[in-house]
Structure 1
């Protein structure tokens, strides 16, 4: 299996979280695959900008999920960072990749993204430092 690392951003304002609808029809937090030679932090900053037009400040890791996708031979590791939008307004940057971006309440987000067992509220309580050691 081919290892694929994916970095996501948990961006909240008040009791809402930013979610994106990918062209495949699945909802997720903004983010995407880490490119060769790129740190996790660089990847999440780039992916959020490419998908939403937002500039973000990256915080701690709040979740690590893992999955095997046998149909395409991928072993995926999903790393979710807490992040803060520091510039811009969310707007679709690539209509070939993203069909919708919206702020939604936590309960709706939990229904759209059931792969976090404790939901957005659990992610907000979670924290693990991220350090790039060179």
Structure 2
């Protein structure tokens, strides 16, 4: 599924491995994501509120896959879900490849063809953690690109804030999926977990008052 950046009535396709920040900079723009929708053409549209940069900057050079390499694109949607100062996380099953097996990450997963990304968040969070959530703002677009002789893989990850009206003990609902466990983890204990880079990259997008609440909890413990 392809991703298109939309701003000021204009559209730009997100290239393999390209960060949306770099794409906007090529157009002399900077901005923040405000929403994502599934376009009529089947592309995920990520809409940005933008303003002009002082000058445009060139985009990064992209790596080249080997001849005959499998080209894979994946658009996925994830959630930052809080209950007080506890973050909802899921652990990847041991069999997951790429060195990620057994690591903790944000709940979420692939957007099905023609599925609204917010609906994917609701579905995936329930499958992986047993929680029913209400999806809020799109706060981050992560883009990663892996190239070797056999594979050209581009992953675009949409990260949303989400609210869980009735938090329950986290449990994996899906059967034979890629999730091995789920848990609510205190923010000040996250660093103790073996985790993917996604968590650390997304945490700065938590509301500021959450950080203050977590600091207050740590002060009470000491």
TM-score band, normalised by the shorter chain? 0.7 to 0.9
1:53–1:88 contact (8 Å) kept in structure 2: no
1:79 aligned to 2:158?
yes
Inter-partner Cα distance in structure 1 for 2:140 and 2:189:
19
Taking a change above 3 Å as real, the CA distance of residues 100 and 59 of structure 1, as seen in their structure-2 partners, is same
Paired residue for 2:187?
Answer: 106
Could you tell me which residue of structure 1 aligns to residue 140 of structure 2?
Answer: 63
**1:90-121 Cα shifts (integer Å, max 9, x gaps):** 2111353222211112243356343455662x
> How many corresponding residue pairs?
125
Is 1:21 matched with 2:102?
Answer: no
Higher relative contact order (CA 8 A, sep 6+): 1
TM-score normalised by L of structure 1: 0.80
Larger strand proportion of the pair: 1
State the match for 1:3 in structure 2. Answer: 73
Query: Aligned in 2, Cα 1:109/1:119: closer, same or farther, shift over 3 Å?
Result: farther
- Cα RMSD of the aligned pairs, angstroms, is 2.3
In the superposition, the TM-score normalised over structure 2's length comes to 0.50
Tell me by how many angstroms 1:86 deviates. 2.6
Q: Which 5+ residue runs of structure 2 have no aligned equivalent? A: 1-70, 94-100, 209-222
Asked which structure has the greater CA Rg, the reply is: 2
